[in-house]
C-alpha cells in the first residue's frame, strides 16, 4: 500500500483491510504522522503491517516496481486543517507516485502545476492526474458546498490556470482520476468530456487497466 495523502478518501480503506491482512505501508513522514495521531489505525497489527517512511524523491521497491514519492502542492487533510489552512505548500502532506522504468506518474491530488512538476510530467509516458472538479466553482453553483476546488487543494481542469491548458501539450497518455461526483467528465458525451477527449485526455473508469 502506497499512500499519497492522509485524507479520509486515501486512508479510510486501511480500516477495511484491518486485523488479518499482512502488507507494507509506504508513505512520506507527514502521512505516517497523521496515521500515528489516530489510534484507530492501531487495528493494523504491527506484527503484520510494516509502516515504512520513505524520503521525498528516494526510490524504493514494492510489488516488483521501483517507486518514488514526490511532494506536490497540496494541503493538510480536512480533519487536520488550521483555521486558515495553507494551500499549495509542498510539505509532503500531498504527494505523487512515480513508477520508474514504466515512467508512470500518479498524482491524484494537486493544488497547482508548478514549472518543475510540469517538467517532470512532460517526461512521463503515462500521467494520471487530479480531475476532482471540472470548474473551480462547480460545487458552489450546484448548491452542494461552499468551497472551490482550489480551497480544497485541487486545481480545477477548466479555466485560467487549470490543468487542461497546462497538461494538453504533454506527449504521453493523460488520464484524469479522482473525479468528484459533480464533475461533468463523468458523463459520456458531455460537452466537457468531448472537449478533453478531443485534446487527447482520457477519463479513468472502474476496472481500467494500464499495461506498463
Residues that bind its own copies (CB under 8 A): 8, 11-12, 15-16, 18-20, 34, 37-43, 77-80, 144-145
Nearest alpha carbon to residue 98 among 129, 70, 122: 70
Q: What residues are paired with 39 via a beta bridge? A: none
Q: Are strands 59-62 and 65-71 parallel, antiparallel or unpaired?
A: antiparallel
Say how far apart CA 21 and CA 35 lie, in whole Å: 17
Residue 180: left (phi > 0), alpha (psi -120 to 50), or beta?
Answer: beta
Compute the least distance from the CB of residue 18 to its own copies, in Å.
6
Compute the least distance from the CB of residue 199 to its own copies, in Å.
32
Nearer to its own copies, 34 or 117 (CB): 34
Q: Are strands 104-107 and 126-130 parallel, antiparallel or unpaired?
A: parallel
Nearer to its own copies, 27 or 99 (CB): 27
Compute the least distance from the CB of residue 17 to its own copies, in Å.
11
Say how far apart CA 41 and CA 15 lie, in whole Å: 7
Nine cell digits for residue 52 = 515504512
Nearer to its own copies, 20 or 206 (CB): 20
DSSP line for 149-188? TGGGT---SSSTT-HHHHHTT-SSEEEEES--TT-GGGST
Compute the least distance from the CB of residue 8 to its own copies, in Å.
5
Say how far apart CA 59 and CA 4 lie, in whole Å: 15
At residue 97, the 3 state secondary structure works out as strand
Specify the length of the chain in residues: 212
Compute the least distance from the CB of residue 38 to its own copies, in Å.
5
Nearer to its own copies, 6 or 156 (CB): 6
Nearer to its own copies, 15 or 208 (CB): 15
Nearer to its own copies, 68 or 93 (CB): 93
Compute the least distance from the CB of residue 184 to its own copies, in Å.
20
Amino acid at each position: 500500500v502506497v499512500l499519497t495523502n492522509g485524507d479520509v478518501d486515501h486512508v479510510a480503506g486501511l480500516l477495511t483491510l484491518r486485523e488479518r491482512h499482512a502488507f507494507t505501508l509506504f508513505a512520506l513522514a507527514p502521512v505516517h504522522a497523521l496515521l500515528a495521531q489516530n489510534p484507530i489505525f492501531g487495528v493494523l497489527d504491527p506484527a503484520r503491517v510494516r509502516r515504512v517512511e520513505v524520503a521525498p524523491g528516494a526510490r524504493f521497491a514494492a510489488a516488483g516496481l521501483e517507486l518514488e514519492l514526490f511532494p506536490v502542492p497540496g494541503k493538510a487533510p480536512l480533519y487536520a486543517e488550521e483555521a486558515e489552512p495553507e494551500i499549495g505548500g509542498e510539505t509532503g502532506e500531498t504527494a505523487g507516485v512515480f513508477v520508474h522504468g514504466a515512467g508512470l506518474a500518479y498524482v491524484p491530488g494537486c493544488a497547482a502545476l508548478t514549472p518543475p512538476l510540469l517538467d517532470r510530467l512532460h517526461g512521463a509516458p503515462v500521467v494520471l492526474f487530479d480531475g476532482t472538479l471540472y470548474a473551480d466553482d462547480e460545487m458552489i453553483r450546484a448548491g452542494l458546498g461552499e468551497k472551490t476546488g482550489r480551497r480544497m487543494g485541487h486545481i480545477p481542469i477548466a479555466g485560467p490556470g487549470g490543468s487542461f491548458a497546462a497538461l494538453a501539450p504533454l506527449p504521453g497518455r493523460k488520464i484524469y482520476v479522482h473525479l468528484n461526483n459533480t464533475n461533468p467528465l463523468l458523463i459520456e458525451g458531455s460537452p466537457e468530456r468531448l472537449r478533453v477527449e478531443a485534446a487527447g485526455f482520457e477519463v479513468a473508469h472502474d476496472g481500467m487497466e494500464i499495461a506498463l
